Every structure is written in C-alpha cells, then in structure tokens.
Amino acid sequence: MSMISIRNLTFGYGGGPEIFKNLSLDLSDDWRLGLVGRNGRGKTTFLRLLAGELAHGGTISMAARPIYFPFGLGQGGGPVGEALLAMFPGLKPWELAREADALALAEACLGRPQGELSPGEATKVGLAALFAMGDVFPLLDEPAGGLDETGRRLVTSYLARKRGFVVVSHDRFLLEGAVDHVLSLGRAGPEVHRGSFGSYWREYEARGQSELREAKALSRETKRLGQAAKRAADWAQSTEKGKYGAGPVDRGYIGHKAAKMAKRAKAVATRREDALEAKRSFQWTAELNPPVSVSPLTFRARRMIEGRGLRLGYGGTGILEGLDLTLDRGERLAVKGPNGSGKSLLLSILAGGPGNVLAGELRIPGDLIRSYVPQRIPAMAGTVPGFARAMGADVTMVGALLHRMGFGKDDLAARVENLSAGQKRKALLAVSLSSRAHLYVWDEPLDFLDVFSRSQIEDLILAGRPGLVFVEHDPAFAGRVATSVLDLGRYGQSD
C-alpha cells in the first residue's frame, strides 16, 4: 500500500472560477474509493487531474500509473482483444481472458471487431483490460454506463473483489456494494469518510436533518425577537407620551421608565440583528435545502390507462407482443426489462409520442394530462425560466426545485444550451414536476444526476404521490418509489 499525495492542487477552466483551490489530500491507493458530489463540483475533473490530463497548480504524486476510464477502443475492424494488447503493451492475453470471464463476457467477444461491441460489452471489455494489469491505478468514471440492471449488478460484485481504484458513479447500489471509502466534494470542501457508502449516507442525512432543525430554530428566534423588539419599542413610546398626559404626573419617574424601556428595546433589536445575521450567514454543509412540495392533479376516475392484448412497435414492426397493462390513480409503475425489450417504446406510446399500437386495445382517456421526460435530452434553448415558461410550468416552483438540487443564481440565468447534461436533466425534471399533470411518464430520468439529487427526487415523489410510469436502472430509486413493476422481458418479439 502506498499513498496518493495531493498538495495545494489548484485548477479552473479557461479563466473561469477555480474548481479546486489549494486542495491537499492523502489517499491510499489500496482503497476502493467512491467519489461523490453535486453535478458541477468537479468529480470528472478530479479524475482527469489524477490521470495527468490537465495542467494545474500544486502537485499530485502516486506510485502506480493512473488510467482514466472509459477510454476509446476505436471503431476499427480488427479484433478488440488485439486492439487492447496494442494499447497496453504489458497486458497478457491470458490475464485479459481471465478478467473477461469474471465479467461474464464470452471468449468470442474478444475476437469480435471493435465497432461491433454493444455499449455494455465495451464497458466490460475496458474494465477487464484495466484490472488485468497489476501496475495501474484505475480511475473509473461511471463504469456502469451502457449496462442494464443485470450488468450493473455484475460490475458491482466484480469491483467489490478488487483493490485500489477511484470510482465516480451516480448509482447508489454500485457505490454501496463496491466501495470502502468515500470522498465527498461538498459545500464545505472535500471530506473523506472511512467506511461504506451506506454509512456515509446515514451520517450525511443525520447532519442534514440537524442543520434543518438549526435553520428552523434560527427562523423562529428571528421572528420572536422581531415581535419582542416591536413590543418594547411600542411600550417605550407609550411610556414617553405619558409624561405629557392630563393632570399631575411624575415626569422624572416616567422619563426614567421610558429610558429603561428604550434601552431594553435597543438590546432586543440588537439581538434580533445578530439572529438575522446568523440566519443570513447560515451554511448548509450537507446537500440539503429547505423542503419543497409538488401538487399533482387528481384524475377523475380510478383507472387511468388500460391495455389488453397489445402488440406495439414502430411502423409495422412489432417489438412487444401480447402485453396487458393497467394503471390506476396514484400508482407508480416501474417498467423493467433487458436492453432492447421495448421499454422506451411503451413509455413513448403512453405519453402520446412516437410508436404504434399494431394490435389489441389501448384506452387512454382524452382528458388525462401527461408530463413526459424522454430518455434523450431534447433540444432546449433560452434561460431555464424562459424554457419553463414556454413549457407551461410554474416558473417559481421550477426555481425552488432547482435551488434544492444545487442550482445557483448564475445557473438559472445561464443559457440552457450551455448547461451540463446533469443540469439539463434537472431542469427537465423540475419543469415536469412543476407542470400540473395527472400522470408523469419518465424514461431514465436520473441519467447524469448526482446521488443527492436522486434522493431528493425520491422524497418529492413519496411526499407528492403523483401517478408515475418510469424506466430507471437505478435499483435504489425503483425500490423506494415503485408501487408495482411491469417486466417486459416475457413480452419481447424482436428489436
């Protein structure tokens, strides 16, 4: 075991604000280290800095050779195994075959042309090559990319048997199963947690709840002191006026009493200002902001959607065959199935998008209002408030939801086209949740979202209880949110 030593690391992109400033850390290259943080906190940047791909201030030193993943395999016609052996001269064929077998890759896969690999196969082949070499330090950026739920579980158990890597992932199941340390890039700066992701998350939630209680107490104290200051000022003013009342009065005594009341009012006002300043300067160290609620529409009938004997496809080509489907008010249906089983097709049809009912009967009432978030991020333009307004969403609610998910004022004012993929996804979800609808149809809504935002979206759904149909590979999300599951694996016809 040796240490990764980081001293006074400073980095920013092209004259923009510094993402890291004088960062110093010591990390063991024997850890299975999970790197977490809000979108935009610099997780991928940190990996690329460790890999030596970005010029920076300060120093980074480590014994093993760092390699950033994913790396391009190219689209050439030669066998992928030969391409990897050429890319990594120290790689031995038998070691590559051993790791490929541990990832359930057929031996023939290494002999296939590079351009013929599926995204999931490319992910597994790259991981196999990295861990077949003993003299490198893997820097894994979303290693579950392109994998269905079965593939994600396989990669998680594979990584749990390894030692010495850093992994950035938004998949909480993978983090919980694979890492033994967590590095959080949070509001208060980097913080290392020695233990599983689950223990880190419990500490994070406990800290967030403690800060929420403290913020509420500050708000109550500020309100109480404001009322006390007003009462004291009114008493002092009333007492002072009493010096000039009708009949004989002891003006000296009354003046003394009024002065005491004025002094008390000033003291209370000072305490109130101190409380206001404490409230203004309160720092959330956990990624938790004051709660926001959503209010979906309630459909007039219990049954919202019903389909019998459905054959679904694009054009005249069937993909799903013999599907029966019902969806009741308040139900949250998770749609599952292997890649290519027709999950996106079904959601598109339910949302009124592309796709055809080739046989059977699908009943969707004409007055059922739906809000759709597709798998691919659509073209977006203008600022977030302008985009929300054009989509008919509650602009104030969109801003509140995005603030809760880590958006600052600059992010809200920026052009949507210039936002990161994670920020765009957050904007789409915020607009959807801020649009009054009976049914929300979401296709892989959590793509690119950080673990903190995923948890917050879950909390919003559980509190608001909207009708929801969704496809999502994050098992933690589906496990918390779904009230029922539809597995399309047994309905597939062709892709």
Q: CATH number for the domain including 458? A: 3.40.50.300
Of 204 and 285, the structure prediction assigns the larger pLDDT to 204
Provide the pLDDT for residue 425. Answer: 93
Q: Is residue 430 part of a domain?
A: yes
For 90: left if phi > 0, alpha if psi spans -120 to 50, otherwise beta; the answer is alpha
Provide the pLDDT for residue 166. Answer: 97
How confident is the model over 28-39, as a mean pLDDT? 94
Q: Is residue 296 part of a domain?
A: no
Assess whether 77 and 134 both reside in one domain: yes
pLDDT band at 495 (very low <50, low <70, confident <90, very high): very low
Of 494 and 139, the structure prediction assigns the larger pLDDT to 139
Provide the pLDDT for residue 440. Answer: 97
Provide the pLDDT for residue 422. Answer: 87
Comparing 181-185, 300-304, 326-330, 339-343, the range with the smallest average pLDDT is 339-343
Assess whether 193 and 223 both reside in one domain: no
Assess whether 223 and 262 both reside in one domain: yes
pLDDT band at 149 (very low <50, low <70, confident <90, very high): confident
Provide the pLDDT for residue 249. Answer: 47
Assess whether 47 and 174 both reside in one domain: yes
Q: Is residue 166 part of a domain?
A: yes
Provide the pLDDT for residue 282. Answer: 44
Assess whether 196 and 224 both reside in one domain: no
For 46, 184, 205, 319, the CA distances from 53, given in Å and listed in that order, are 10, 22, 35, 44
Q: Is residue 403 part of a domain?
A: yes
How far apart are the C-alpha atoms of 165 and 29, rounded to whole Å? 7
Comparing 20-29, 30-39, 116-125, 357-366, the range with the smallest average pLDDT is 116-125
How confident is the model over 136-153, as a mean pLDDT? 89
pLDDT band at 75 (very low <50, low <70, confident <90, very high): low
Assess whether 316 and 249 both reside in one domain: no
Residue after which a domain boundary falls, among 247, 280, 313: 280
How confident is the model over 202-210, as a mean pLDDT? 83
Is residue 1 over pLDDT 70? no
Of 145 and 170, the structure prediction assigns the larger pLDDT to 170
Q: Is residue 326 part of a domain?
A: yes
pLDDT band at 346 (very low <50, low <70, confident <90, very high): very high
Provide the pLDDT for residue 437. Answer: 95
Candidates 399, 356, 349, 402; CA nearest to 372 is 349
Q: Which residue, chain included where needed, has tokens 């594979």?
A: 158
Cβ-contact 18, 12 below 8 angstroms: yes
230 lies in which domain range? 204-280
- Kindly report whether the peptide bond that precedes residue 70 is cis, defined as omega within 30 degrees of 0: yes
Beta-bridge partners for 12: 18
Q: Mean pLDDT in the chain?
A: 85
Assess whether 355 and 384 both reside in one domain: yes
Is residue 268 over pLDDT 70? no
Assess whether 246 and 332 both reside in one domain: no
The most confident of the ranges 60-74, 103-117, 158-172 is 158-172
Q: Is residue 297 part of a domain?
A: no
Assess whether 220 and 348 both reside in one domain: no
Cβ-contact 12, 63 below 8 angstroms: no
Provide the pLDDT for residue 367. Answer: 96
pLDDT band at 287 (very low <50, low <70, confident <90, very high): low
140 token code pair? 């894994």
Provide the pLDDT for residue 493. Answer: 55
Residue after which a domain boundary falls, among 151, 173, 203: 203
pLDDT band at 279 (very low <50, low <70, confident <90, very high): very low
Is residue 474 over pLDDT 70? yes
Report the number of distinct structural domains present in the chain: 3
Is residue 129 over pLDDT 70? yes
How far apart are the C-alpha atoms of 348 and 219, rounded to whole Å? 45
Comparing 42-46, 231-235, 357-361, the range with the smallest average pLDDT is 231-235
Cα angle 469-471-472, degrees, rounded to a multiple of 5: 130
Cβ-contact 207, 286 below 8 angstroms: yes
pLDDT band at 89 (very low <50, low <70, confident <90, very high): confident
Q: Which residue, chain included where needed, has tokens 């052009």?
A: 415
Assess whether 180 and 223 both reside in one domain: no
Assess whether 440 and 478 both reside in one domain: yes
Provide the pLDDT for residue 117. Answer: 83
Of 15 and 473, the structure prediction assigns the larger pLDDT to 473
Is residue 311 over pLDDT 90? yes
pLDDT digits (tens, 9 = 90+) for 393-415: 999 999 999 988 888 888 888 88
pLDDT digits (tens, 9 = 90+) for 217-266: 767 767 776 666 666 666 556 655 555 555 554 445 555 555 665 566 56
Assess whether 317 and 450 both reside in one domain: yes
Q: Is residue 292 part of a domain?
A: no
pLDDT digits (tens, 9 = 90+) for 411-462: 888 888 888 888 999 999 999 999 989 999 999 999 889 999 999 999 999 9
Q: Is residue 290 part of a domain?
A: no
Cβ-contact 36, 183 below 8 angstroms: yes
Candidates 150, 139, 70; CA nearest to 337 is 150
